[in-house]
Structure 1
Amino acid sequence: MTAAPQASRIAAIPQTIGFLLMDNFTLISLASAIEPLRMANQLAGRELYRWFTLSLEGAPVKASDGLQVTPDAATNVPLALDTVIVCGGVGPQRSVQRECVTWLQSQARQSRRLGAVCTGTWALARAGLLDGFEASVHWECLAAMQEAFPKVALTTRLFSIDRDRATSSGGTAPLDMMLTLISRDHGRELAAGISEMFVYDRVRNEQDQQRVPLKHVLGTTQPRLLEIVALMEANLEEPISLDELADYVNVSRRQLERLFQKNLHCSPSRYYLKLRLTRARQLLKQTAMSIIEVASACGFVSTPHFSKCYREYFGIPPRDERLGSSPVDLVPVSLGKEAAALLQSASYEPVIEPVSAALNALSEARGEPTYASVRLRI
């Protein structure tokens, strides 16, 4: 087989993704993960991705909003999957069954890429498939997972891609994760085209954090600290001095320092700076305000001082943040074992599998003006 036909044949093989639906999964997270794949196919004018929804026995699965989804197949159907993504939601501790754990472990043994959205991360962790990996999960489940799975490097980032594991928090965060993966597979132009079609004006990256409510982290045990942080958040443009903050809540400056070090593991001034810089990043990415205006709105007396603090904290100057010049590593598509075997053998037994919804969606999209509008990189 010559190099050119082989490359053409590889390019023609779509990546196949199985979405395992857990009881009470969140529908918005599932849609946020699948819709970018559909649009990637439409804009490319061919099937780059195909997907199947799965449940343990093939029975309908109820989402957290009460709607039921009838899956394409049961997990015992031998689908030629490249990736498995677990879709979780409410009560993952109850919805992760032993059969689910066993099946996920079997997928890992077949060298399939594994992922999760919302609280689906719990299932992968319970199966021991995230030990030593960085992982993201919805903030509401974060504390419980840290306690239950100490070997998992949990993070508050919106999503994490660590080797062949891709995990994301809930809501629309799976959309950002999938756009990042699509960009790595097929280039930034395709990912940008998808975000335009979804009127999604800013694709968040792996460095973006979930906004975890401090009340969830501290509980009700530190009312004074919560009050101080609320004051900080309400006074970003004109920061309040630490002495004034201490006076507001009837503690000494030393007590204030101890409160922050004990509960937030940093000084109050450092925490205040973090709040101001995080707000600055939002303004840079989401508004047309000049860098000078952003600096002023976040309590910095000079632009050079703002730029210095910003670079030290985020590792990139405000100007580059505004231009969006942070690099995205482009990783070539890796084929699953089934696809590799197909290329190496002239005769093979095809896997009988249900028809993916991707084919119907692609057929319906042929009449759209955006069909095949993005030229893929070679």
Structure 2
Amino acid sequence: MSDINNPPKSYAFLLLDGFSTLGFSCALDALSLANHHPSGRQFYRWRLLSENGDIAKAYNGVSIAVDGPLSPLERGETLIVCAGEHAGRAASKPVLNWLRREARRGNDLGALSSGTYILALAGLIGGKRVTTHWEYKTALAEMLPDVTMEDTIFSIDGRIFTSAGGAASMDMMLHRLQNDYGTDLATWVADQMVYTVPRSHSDAQRMSLQSRPEVRNAKLLKAMQVMENNIEDPLTPDEIAAAINLSTRQMERLFARYLSISPKRHYMRVRLEKGRNLLRQTDMSVTDICVACGFRSLSHFSKSYRANYGISPALETKSSSVLWSGTP
């Protein structure tokens, strides 16, 4: 560990309405537990901020009192933007202007979950490698073509570090603890969290298809991957079967046995899931999303979407329009 006489490292957490309590708690508790190390040393200190200093309200209704409103960061103080649902609604002009101003100080900037989108609206992640919760990845990839969206649980690119949120916040903070003070402290904190196998930044966010209990056949796995890789220009059942060296009938039996669904229906669900993410998280038109999901007819897309989700694409767009409606 570094010199005990060194001052504690400072963090500021910006809590935006709708933030995830799980992601925030995992990040904060890692710092808090470090300060309970038997050495008796205070390794970290922190403060909680909201836009106006008002109580911050999480997505699940939990309210958290903060230490104050937006204020200048100290030299060397690390900022973490904590967001969740309705990120665009929380991205007010004062918040974005404050982020741009504080970024010029050269401090480390972090984000949890859709906090990555807030940094994007402030123009702070251009050309960077970043991550966000997997539900938002497709939307951000469409909106930010110059940004490399990674599927990992957290990403680090220079002074910018981003996390998928949730439990991944704990992995990211343990990584920072290790860099700050060494493996011994990070391991001790992980043990206190009863977290026996911390993950690295290269770990994927979601359980791989190979690891899912319902996917126990290599041919089935390959068929599912072929579908996910061909959404905008869907393949026919015969083409998918040929790609995995099976007959169409053999492929149908595989899907029926392991997933209790036809290949055609599974493929449709994959395409509609992408459509739903784009409708909820971007301002793309329904027509453009229809094309991005491989539908040649807007009426077919609308009918299929309503049958699967019980709502039309147009109504889905209206009900979700505030989610990404930030004001750059």
Q: What's the TM-score once normalised by structure 1's chain length?
A: 0.56
- Write the distance in 1 (CA, Å) between the matches of 2:200 and 2:183: 13
What residue number does 2:33 align with? 39
**Match for 1:157: what amino acid?**
T
**Match for 2:28: what amino acid?**
I
What residue number does 1:183 align with? 178
Report the secondary structure of 1:99's partner residue.
Answer: helix
Greater helix fraction, Structure 1 or Structure 2: 1
1:83 counterpart (78, 83, 95): 78
5 Å matches for 1:256-275? Answer: 256=241
2:66 counterpart (65, 68, 71): 71
Q: 1:78 to 1:113 in 2, by over 3 A?
A: closer
5 Å matches for 1:279-290? Answer: none
Whether the 8 Å contact between 2:131 and 2:151 is mirrored in structure 1 is yes
1:173 aligns with 2:168: yes
**Match for 1:255: what amino acid?**
I
1:251 counterpart (217, 229, 237): 237
Higher-RCO chain (CA-CA 8 Å, sequence separation at least 6): 1
- Write the distance in 2 (CA, Å) between the matches of 1:51 and 1:58: 15
| Superposed CA RMSD | 3.0
Whether the 8 Å contact between 1:135 and 1:155 is mirrored in structure 2 is yes
Give per-residue Cα distances to partners, 1:189-211, cap 9 Å, x unaligned. 11111111111111010110111
1:108 aligns with 2:108: no
1:154 counterpart (137, 149, 154): 149
2:125 counterpart (115, 121, 130): 130
What residue number does 1:55 align with? 50
- Write the distance in 1 (CA, Å) between the matches of 2:186 and 2:242: 45
Give per-residue Cα distances to partners, 1:65-114, cap 9 Å, x unaligned. 10111111111366555111000010112221111111111111111110
Whether the 8 Å contact between 2:19 and 2:85 is mirrored in structure 1 is yes
Q: 1:241 to 1:109 in 2, by over 3 A?
A: closer
- Write the distance in 2 (CA, Å) between the matches of 1:83 and 1:100: 16
Report the secondary structure of 2:175's partner residue.
Answer: helix
Q: 1:233 to 1:113 in 2, by over 3 A?
A: same
5 Å matches for 1:1-378? Answer: 11-43=5-37, 44-76=39-71, 79=74, 82-211=77-206, 234-236=214-216, 239-240=218-219, 251-252=237-238, 254-256=239-241
Give per-residue Cα distances to partners, 1:298-324, cap 9 Å, x unaligned. xxxxxxxxxxxxxxxxxxxxxxxxxxx
Q: 1:197 to 1:251 in 2, by over 3 A?
A: same
**Match for 2:183: what amino acid?**
R
What is the percent sequence identity of the aligned residues?
32
Structure of greater Rg: 1
Q: CA deviation at 1:244?
A: 10
- Write the distance in 1 (CA, Å) between the matches of 2:220 and 2:23: 41
Q: CA deviation at 1:176?
A: 0.2
What residue number does 2:262 align with? none
Q: How many residues were matched structurally?
A: 232
Give per-residue Cα distances to partners, 1:314-373, cap 9 Å, x unaligned. xxxxxxxxxxxxxxxxxxxxxxxxxxxxxxxxxxxxxxxxxxxxxxxxxxxxxxxxxxxx
Q: CA deviation at 1:145?
A: 1.1
- Write the distance in 1 (CA, Å) between the matches of 2:156 and 2:170: 14
- Write the distance in 2 (CA, Å) between the matches of 1:116 and 1:206: 14
- Write the distance in 2 (CA, Å) between the matches of 1:49 and 1:243: 47
